[in-house]
Amino acid sequence: MDIKYIDADLLQWNGNKTYLPISERTNYLSLGEGNTPIVELRNIGNLVGGQIHSKMEFMNPTGSFKDRGSAIMISALKDMNVSEIVEDSSGNAGASISAYSARAGIKAHIFAPSTAPKPKLDQIAVYGAQTHLIEGARDDSTKAAILYATSNSIPYASHNLSPFFIEGTKLFAHEIYRDMNGNLPDHIVIPVGNGSLFLGAWKGFSELKKQGHINQIPKLHCIQAQSVMPIVSAASGKKWGSDDVKPTIAGGIAVGSPPRLKQVTRVLKSSTGTSMSVSENEIKKWQLLLANQEGLYIEPTSAAAFAGTEKLIDTKIIQKSDSVLIPITGFGLKDNPPEL
Amino acid sequence: MDIKYIDADLLQWNGNKTYLPISERTNYLSLGEGNTPIVELRNIGNLVGGQIHSKMEFMNPTGSFKDRGSAIMISALKDMNVSEIVEDSSGNAGASISAYSARAGIKAHIFAPSTAPKPKLDQIAVYGAQTHLIEGARDDSTKAAILYATSNSIPYASHNLSPFFIEGTKLFAHEIYRDMNGNLPDHIVIPVGNGSLFLGAWKGFSELKKQGHINQIPKLHCIQAQSVMPIVSAASGKKWGSDDVKPTIAGGIAVGSPPRLKQVTRVLKSSTGTSMSVSENEIKKWQLLLANQEGLYIEPTSAAAFAGTEKLIDTKIIQKSDSVLIPITGFGLKDNPPEL
């Protein structure tokens, strides 16, 4: 199939160029996603002894960074006259794809774990997608979705596999370059489940490097919950199997068998980043710290990245004089409220 | 007291000038609020037979437009070395003020109706404010807050009375001017309780007019729930008393005795806008339409403005060839989920 691309300058571009896989601008179904602000978090910086900025990815139309990917993926599918899709998700991607599908007039089937937080499941349903609740671990939703798609001959529009999705998340990197006036952070610390933001960031920075805008890509660090750490295990050569999955409050990164595991570990190596795992208590602690120190109500999944940053500073992988950027990937309102 | 102002160009200004009542830029406690996208809603436009744009005010750090006002008000209070405040709110302003107070290191007491939606009350608590739940109508929370502030000699930082709050919400108008390249919409339809966005919009457009950037201010229409309609009543010369208040799902505009009622009716007249009330069923209908037609999960309070727009078009107060802008003031995730 021949895929056409539009120039992304409709996204208020500024010097550097990138392209999006949509045939015409009028087919671009934006809800205003992206262009999220970058804010310095001085109170958190004082706590960990570093210079911390956050990019507010939760300030997207459905409350998570997934909207970047969904906007491009659903626009591209609409472009191809797809009218019905199947997707699986722990909640955020499901809500996002349900929203953009509604706007596109595409019927969406979202397969999600029956244990997903109620606000996320409610949100998926409100936009109008058909929800299929699946017992078991996150990976069982994937299996059920693939089976359903195959049996019913409906396209499986997986945000974890679709190349279009990463064409959307790559703009995260382009915006950092634009908004920090080329002064890239030394480190970007990302919570990683399937890696759609991690790989998108790598693609965006790689484009900028190829075009000569930057000489060096920031170190991309990968944070996982100790309860679900296939990437951390792979990167350190430790054994890991789906049987090792334990429950975690960081549902957005609870992916036991990430299909792009090899790609993620390759990017980790290329960007000289480190992978690190954090405990449930560390995640809880950081969720509350962000709220009561900075006024930011973030998902446990996002809190994991702050917990990981503290460890990366403690172990001197990040120096106190270095600059660090942490995406806040999802809004706290989307999850069960923390215990106070 | 002598209040100093900073030039608002730190908000990425563009030609027009406005000023904010904060003495130094470093005292400006932004969480990245404002600069919300404006998106055309073609599916909704086709339904009502008009040209509809929305400004995504729910894509603010705490999920509502209140962050514009809180950012300025709390920064100004911090500037004056205030360390503890009292506020009352149906939920959105309370969450917003709780968030910015956390960042500022100010202790906040939020008085809210005990019937406020759980997600909003959870959110207020997560940021760290002390919540005081008050039985009775929305206005009883105001009375209790004033009593507490007076008895304990703590500043009453009411978002409904503070002039600083409107210095924040006025940027809504400046951004519309900037982002629509001066092609202002003919109509702006706003859900109004206390009028902090309505009056802010008027102030911003008035500044633009005074500076010669625009000749005419868009018609500012005011939408209320039939269950709580003091402004609609006043504008049409009908009697209204607090005893007339009935329950409404549009909690953000359930204000029985708005302290700035006269100011709002004056602006309505000056901008040649119309006030209109809508039923609970109309609000529910529009909340679901926004979700399943456009992929936007909005608060019932915001849905009221769409219900009102439909009526303004039906009654030909808005012509089908006119352009209309409707702010989406709050995220649906902040309220109880709608019945499907």
CA-closest candidate to residue B169, choices B209, B202, B217: B202
Residue-wise DSSP of A229-262: -HHHHHHTT----GGG----S-GGG--SS-TTHH
**Cα distance between residue B268 and residue A180, in whole Å:** 42
Average confidence (pLDDT) over B189-195? 97
Average pLDDT of the segment spanning B17-46: 88
β-bridge pairing B84-88 and B51-55: unpaired
Q: What is the pLDDT of residue A182?
A: 74
Give per-residue pLDDT as tens, A248-287: 999 999 999 999 999 999 999 999 999 999 999 999 999 9
Mutation target vs A (from B11, B27, B31; most A CBs, 10 A cutoff): B31
In DSSP terms, A19 is beta-bridged to: A7
With CA atoms as reference, the chain B residue closest to A96 would be B295
Q: Name every chain B residue with its beta carbon within 8 A of the beta carbon of A30.
A: 39
Contacts of A288 in chain B (CB under 8 A): 126
Provide the ipTM: 0.94
- Which among A90, A322, A7, A331 is positioned nearest to A189, based on CA atoms? A322
Query: Which residues of B are less than 8 Å from A125 in CB distance?
Result: 340
Q: Write down the pTM of the prediction.
A: 0.95
Taking only the tens place, the pLDDT of each residue in B327-337 is 999 999 999 99
pLDDT reading at B2 higher than 90: no
Encoding tokens for residue A301? 């999944």
Find residues 152-171 of chain A whose CB sits inside 8 Å of chain B.
Answer: none
Plot region of B87 (φ>0 → left; ψ -120 to 50 → alpha; else → beta): beta
Task: Tell me if chain A has a CB within 8 Å of the CB of B30.
Answer: yes
DSSP A262-320: HHHHHHHHHTT--EEEE-HHHHHHHHHHHHHHH---B-HHHHHHHHHHHHHHHTTSS-T
Q: What are the residues whose beta carbons fall under 8 Å from the beta carbon of B218, sequence distance 6 or more?
A: B184, B185, B186, B187, B188, B205, B271, B325
pLDDT at A24: 77
Percent of chain B with pLDDT over 90: 84
Question: Is B56 within 8 Å of chain A by CB?
Answer: yes
pLDDT digits (tens, 9 = 90+) for B136-170: 988 899 999 999 999 999 999 998 889 899 999 99
| Percent of chain A clearing pLDDT 70 (strictly above) | 95
Q: Specify whether the CB–CB gap between B88 and B158 falls below 8 A.
A: yes
Say yes or no for a CB contact (<8 Å) between A31 and B294: yes
The helix-helix angle for B66-79 and B92-104 (nearest 10°) equals 40
In angstroms, the separation between the Cα of residue B294 and the nearest Cα of chain A is 4
Does the structure show a pLDDT above 50 at B11? no
Q: Which residues have CB under 8 Å from B291's CB, separation 6+?
A: A99, A102, A126, A127, A128, B297, B298, B332, B338
Residues ≥6 apart with Cβ < 8 Å to B249: B280, B283, B284, B300, B335, B336
pLDDT band at A289 (very low <50, low <70, confident <90, very high): very high
For residue B247, pLDDT over 70 is answered with yes
- The pair of structure tokens assigned to A200 is 């998108």
Our measurement of the distance from residue A141's CA atom to the centroid of its chain's CA atoms, rounded to an integer in Å, reads 18
Give the nearest chain B residue to A289 (CA atoms).
Answer: B127
Predicted confidence band of residue A211 (pLDDT cuts 50, 70, 90): confident
Comparing CB atoms, the residue among B56, B119, B292 nearest residue A61 is: B56
**Degrees (nearest 5) of the Cα angle B308, B310, B313?**
110
> Could you tell me where the DSSP H helices lie in A49-117?
66-79, 92-104
Neighbours of B179 (CB within 10 A): 16
- A125-151 pLDDT per residue, tens: 999 999 999 999 888 999 999 999 999
How are strands ordered across the β-sheet holding A84-88?
A84-88, A107-113, A130-134
Facing B340 at nearest CB: one of A59, A125, A337:
A125
CA angle, A135 as apex, A134 and A139 as ends, to 5°? 75
Q: Residue B119 — φ and ψ, nearest 5°?
A: -60, -35
Closest-CA residue of A relative to B328 is A61
- The single-letter DSSP state of residue B261 is H
User: What are the pLDDT digits (tens) for B107-130?
Assistant: 999 999 999 999 999 999 999 999
User: Tens digits of per-residue pLDDT, B196-243?
Assistant: 999 999 999 999 999 888 999 999 999 999 999 999 999 999 999 988
Average pLDDT over residues A202-229: 95
**Rounded to 10 degrees, what is the CA torsion of A168, A234, A112, A172?**
-20
pLDDT at position A202 is 98
Judge whether residue B52 has pLDDT over 50. Answer: yes
Q: Answer whether residue A26 shows pLDDT above 90.
A: no
Q: Which residue on chain A is closest to B121 by alpha carbon?
A: A337
Interface contact B293-A56, CB threshold 8 A = no
Mutate which of A44, A127, A180 to test chain B, going by most B C-beta atoms within 10 A? A127
pLDDT of B20 strictly over 90? no
Residue B54 DSSP SS3: strand
* Nearest residue of B to residue A12, measured between CA atoms: B179
Task: Name the token pair of A228.
Answer: 């679900």
> Which of A126, A131, A340 is the mutation pick for testing B, counting most B CBs within 10 A?
A126
Using DSSP bridges, classify how beta strands A19-20 and A6-7 pair: parallel, antiparallel or unpaired.
antiparallel
B5 has a pLDDT exceeding 70 = no
Q: Do B296 and A31 touch (CB under 8 A)?
A: yes
Q: What pLDDT is attached to residue A3?
A: 57
| Residue positions counted in chain A | 340
Cβ atoms within 10 Å, residue B315: 10
Q: Are A193 and A165 in contact (CB under 8 A)?
A: no
A306 near A221, Cβ under 8 Å? no
Query: Does position A216 have pLDDT exceeding 60, yes or no?
Result: yes
- B134 three-state secondary structure: strand
Digit-coded pLDDT (tens) for A88-121: 998 899 999 999 999 999 999 999 999 999 999 9
**Does pLDDT of B17 surpass 90?**
no
Give me the percent of chain B exceeding a pLDDT of 70.
Answer: 95
The CA distances from residue B161 to B61, B167, B233, in Å, are 22, 12, 22
Residues listed for chain B: 340
User: What average pLDDT does the structure give for chain A?
Assistant: 93
Q: How distant is the alpha carbon of residue B309 from its chain centre?
A: 17
The tokens of A73 are what? 């993926």
Mean local confidence (pLDDT), A237-256:
92
- Looking at residue B10, what is its pLDDT? 40
Pairing assessment for the beta strands B275-278 and A275-278 based on DSSP bridges: unpaired
Alpha carbon A202 to its chain's center: 12
Residue showing tokens 């500044």: B207
Q: How far apart, in whole angstroms, are the C-alpha atoms of residue A254 and residue A258?
A: 9
